[in-house]
Amino acid sequence: MNKTVRLSDADNVVTAVTPLEIGQEGATQLIPRGHKLAAQAIPKGAPVIKYAQVIGYAAEDIVAGAHVHTHNLDFRNVDTEYEYSTNIRPAAPAATQDTFMGYRRATGRVGTRNYIAVLTSVNCSATAARKIAAHFTDDKLAAYPNVDGVVAFVHGTGCGMAGQGSEGFEALQRVMWGYARNPNIGGVLMAGLGCEMNQIDWLVEAYGLQPGPLFQSMNIQDVGGLRKCVELGIQKIEKMLPVVNEASREECPASDLMVALQCGGSDAWSGITANPAVGHACDLLVAQGGTGVLAETPEIYGAEHLLTARA
């Protein structure tokens, strides 16, 4: 078994697969598992390259075989040219069309789950939402085999923010609308406080949501307090359950799938094992006509230009 892995011929560092003693793989120092070893001498100020990309600059002269880590690496902001669609790698269409059993919604989109969502317009109603969702244990849902669960989606804002037209307000409403219309959601109960800036009625009007058996709303102040709000919410979902349970799975093409991706543990192996494996899975999905979405955008900090070229 190789004790190091080189990710690109352009790299001037390799990664230790196992802890290296001095002398192993040319190591001049002890190299912990997952850490970098200089594959060649790297002069002070020269770029350190891994994944065929600059990951930093040598803070001092680094001899071949030395441990390369935060103690001898400098970070620099560099000018980056953002190019689009210059490194596209189209996936060849799959030879056969795969399918899965999904919930086809009236919008034409397909879900892999059939949840009832308890959404909040403001942080003040988060406790109510959690208590409502927690009431519906597996035992209470046993009579509704096509309902995958009742889940609360809460957030920490909605009050004390600028109103309509502000960036934060519009972002919050887009996220709430996205939850409400997600194909994994069969029914929605939206809970508010009543006096918040982010009013439920505004969301309903702005995004054309239709109140009905599968879209209910309420707020704590109107119903007379937290306990009454929780009790009413439970009653509303109990009436919703038989309707949501009417949905059934049907065979759907893999092209209907949309999968959101997140980085792994952000450790030494994310870019060596986990992320390439997820990337390969995404390639297989795209070959089927499906869609992969890079959801955890903070993780691409410093590598934006690599992804715009692929977009």
pLDDT band of 276, cuts 50, 70, 90: confident
164 has a pLDDT exceeding 70 = no
Report the pLDDT value the prediction gives residue 163, as an integer from 0 to 100: 66
Provide the pLDDT for residue 275: 84
Mean pLDDT of 73-101: 89
Lowest mean pLDDT among 97-111, 207-221, 291-305: 291-305
Taken in order of first residue, the domains within the chain and their CATH numbers are 4-74 (2.30.130.110), 115-244 (3.40.1400), 252-310 (no CATH)
**Comparison of pLDDT for 9 and 275, the residue scoring more:** 9
Q: Give the mean pLDDT of 37-41.
A: 97
Examine the pLDDT at 71 and tell me if it is beyond 90.
Answer: yes
What value does the mean pLDDT take over residues 90-118? 94
What is the arithmetic mean of pLDDT over 212-229? 94
The answer to whether residues 40 and 79 touch, using CB atoms and an 8 Å cutoff, is no
For residue 297, the model assigns a pLDDT of 79
193 — pLDDT class (breaks 50, 70, 90)? very high
Please choose, from the candidates 144, 168, 121, 307, the residue with its C-alpha nearest in 3D space to the C-alpha of residue 237: 144
Average pLDDT, the chain: 92
Backbone angles phi, psi at 184, to 5 degrees: -80, -5
Q: Examine the pLDDT at 264 and tell me if it is beyond 70.
A: no
pTM of the model as a whole:
0.80
- Average confidence (pLDDT) over 4-29: 96
